[in-house]
Amino acid sequence: MVAEPVSAGMNEGALAEVERIFDQQIARGDHPGAALSVYRRGHLVLNLVGGYADPATGGPVTPETMFVLFSSTKPLASLALLQQIDRGRASLDAPVATYWPGFAPHGKERVTLRHVLTHQGGFPTTPESLSWKQWRDWDAVVRAMENITPEFPPGTVSAYHALNHGWVCAELVRQIDGRDFPTYLREEICGPLGMSDTFVGLPAAEEEHVAVLVPMEDVEEAGRKTVETFNRPEVHQAVVPAGCGIATARDMARFYAALAGGGELDGVRVIGRELLTTALAVQVDGDEDRTLGSPVRRGLGFNLGGLPGPNRMGRSSTSHTFGHGGAGTSICWGDTDLELGFAFLPNGFRGPNTIVQRCEELSDAVRAAVRPD
């Protein structure tokens, strides 16, 4: 149920402008379809859907349509690991090998949980042995992570771990807690927060609800192959906690609403306020990321806003804006100052020169709709 905007401190006319931009993007062909949801102070204030979930069949996007999250999945894995620290089961600056002894070989004995959460572990490259055909074999994934040799000394450089981040977070959770990642996610994060349409490891019966990814006109061959891979049901059903999440926009906005509200939503607390404050504080500030080739600002498991220049979280974002984007597609973020949770999930996969613009204009429009206290 969408709340009355004014009661949640939002400007109704400005939210109408958000809807206009959302509809305009679909009309001008930025993507075939999309969903956008916004929470303010724990209340759903906007829940937009439009366009086609499957252009080939004409199937429309509905509020129940789920989208491939790509790297917007990462904060789910990060929060699961942060919960282990919050519950006293692990220490942020302890080596990964303290909890997962098999991870230590080849110079990884000094990689800490903090390094993993800030992409400073030094092992950013996905092993060649882990093509999408191996992603459903968790034992193979674990062996591959154990056999990696770091490219950089741990803690010395920022280098985005595109897929390795999630696998290491998830296996750490399994080693510490005992549950596999899909079970843990369902029982400790998604279930308590009422995120019933979020999965890492999609049940086959849910496949019909997933929007089809479409490569847009500016996507080169490598991006088209990525789209082909991530449209596969076998990939949707794989446990890839850094890239294969599947969710609705409403669920992801709800996730960020909980964190923007201090770790609690509707009486359910998923992380203590003290550790959350640490996680959302600047850990890496303006460093050139060796993988991405651009400056980054990071907390523990989250990108932070406020860097100059184009930003999917909006040019008006600040260091109190936190979130993550997905390759070619989405942006999901929260803002502790504004008590906002935001998720924009399109199914059009775009190139780097156009993806930021469509996310940025919606993010800034939502932030502009907040009524001053």
The answer to whether residue 184 is domain-embedded is: no
Could you tell me if 272 and 333 lie in one domain? yes
The answer to whether residue 332 is domain-embedded is: yes
Could you tell me if 217 and 362 lie in one domain? yes
Q: How many domains does the chain divide into?
A: 2
pLDDT score at 7: 80
The answer to whether residue 187 is domain-embedded is: no
Q: Which of 144, 177, 210 lies at the terminal end of a domain, its last residue?
A: 177
pLDDT score at 193: 98
Could you tell me if 264 and 155 lie in one domain? no
The answer to whether residue 183 is domain-embedded is: no
Burial string for 214-227 (b: 16+ CB within 10 Å, else e) reads bbbeebeeebeebb
Could you tell me if 30 and 100 lie in one domain? no
The answer to whether residue 235 is domain-embedded is: yes
The answer to whether residue 328 is domain-embedded is: yes
Could you tell me if 151 and 233 lie in one domain? no
Could you tell me if 89 and 62 lie in one domain? no
The answer to whether residue 17 is domain-embedded is: yes
The answer to whether residue 190 is domain-embedded is: no
pLDDT score at 262: 98
Kindly report the CATH number assigned to the domain that includes residue 305. Answer: 3.40.710.10
Q: What is the pLDDT of residues 9-50, one digit of tens each?
A: 999 999 999 999 999 999 999 999 999 999 999 999 999 999
Could you tell me if 115 and 151 lie in one domain? yes
pLDDT score at 373: 77
Could you tell me if 228 and 301 lie in one domain? yes
For the entire predicted model, the pTM comes to 0.97
Could you tell me if 206 and 319 lie in one domain? yes
* Element spanning 333, H or E: strand 331-335
Range of the domain at 139: 78-177
Q: Which of 128, 147, 177 lies at the terminal end of a domain, its last residue?
A: 177
Could you tell me if 173 and 213 lie in one domain? no
Could you tell me if 139 and 248 lie in one domain? no
In angstroms, rounded to a whole number, what is the distance separating the alpha carbons of residues 62 and 50? 7
Give 10-residue mean pLDDT values along the chain (373 residues): 81 96 97 98 97 97 98 98 98 98 97 98 97 96 98 97 98 98 98 98 97 97 97 98 98 98 98 98 95 96 95 97 97 98 98 92 98 85
3-state secondary structure 84-123: HHHCCCCCCCCEHHHCCHHHCCCCCCCCEHHHHHCCCCCC
Could you tell me if 216 and 112 lie in one domain? no
pLDDT score at 283: 97
Q: Which of 145, 177, 209 lies at the terminal end of a domain, its last residue?
A: 177
pLDDT score at 132: 96
Cα–Cα separations (whole angstroms), residue 155 to 84, 120, 198, 249, 358:
21, 5, 32, 34, 34
